[in-house]
Copies of this chain bind each other. A is one copy, B any other.
Amino acid sequence: MSAHTDQDPDVLITSPDPMHPANHISELCRKFYDLGWVTGTGGGVSIRKEDLVYLAPSGVQKEMMQPEDMFVMDWKTKEYLRRPLNYKPSACTPLFLAAYTHRGAGCCIHTHSQWAVLVTLICESSPDWATRTCFSIKEIEQIKGISRGGSGSDEIAEGGRKLGNLGFFDTLRIPIIENTAHEEDLTGALEQAMLAWPECAAVLVRRHGVYVWGKDVGQAKTQAESLDYLFQLAVRMHGMGLKWT
Whether A121 and B237, one on each chain, are in contact in the complex, defined by CB atoms closer than 8 angstroms, is yes
Which residues of chain A from 214 to 245 have a CB within 8 Å of any chain B CB? 218, 221-223, 225-226, 228-229, 232-233, 235-240, 242
Which residues of chain A from 48 to 73 have a CB within 8 Å of any chain B CB? 59, 61, 63
A122 at the interface (CB under 8 A from B): yes
A167 at the interface (CB under 8 A from B): yes
Whether A229 and B141, one on each chain, are in contact in the complex, defined by CB atoms closer than 8 angstroms, is no
Interchain nearest-CB distance for A222 vs B (Å) = 5
A21 at the interface (CB under 8 A from B): no
Whether A41 and B233, one on each chain, are in contact in the complex, defined by CB atoms closer than 8 angstroms, is no
* A225-B40, A236-B114, A240-B122 known; A167 vs B141 contact (CB < 8 Å): no
Partner pick for A181 among B168, B207, B223, CB 8 A cutoff: B168
Interchain nearest-CB distance for A10 vs B (Å) = 21
Which residues of chain B come closer than 8 Å to A61, judged between CB atoms? 218, 221-222
A140 at the interface (CB under 8 A from B): yes
Which residues of chain B come closer than 8 Å to A114, judged between CB atoms? 229, 232-233, 236
A117 at the interface (CB under 8 A from B): yes
Q: What mask results when residues 193 to 212 of chain A are scored 1 for a CB within 8 Å of chain B, else 0?
A: 00000000000010111000
Whether A42 and B141, one on each chain, are in contact in the complex, defined by CB atoms closer than 8 angstroms, is yes
* A140-B207, A181-B167, A207-B140 known; A41 vs B240 contact (CB < 8 Å): no
A145 at the interface (CB under 8 A from B): yes
* A41-B145, A112-B141, A179-B139 known; A240 vs B240 contact (CB < 8 Å): no
A-B contact pairs, 23 of them (CB 8 A): A39-B142, A39-B226, A39-B229, A40-B225, A42-B226, A42-B229, A61-B222, A112-B141, A114-B229, A114-B236, A117-B140, A117-B233, A118-B236, A121-B237, A121-B240, A121-B242, A122-B240, A141-B205, A141-B208, A167-B181, A168-B180, A169-B181, A238-B240
Taking beta carbons and an 8 Å cutoff, which residues of A are in contact with B?
A: 31, 39-42, 59, 61, 63, 112, 114, 117-118, 121-122, 125, 139-142, 145, 167-169, 179-181, 205, 207-209, 218, 221-223, 225-226, 228-229, 232-233, 235-240, 242
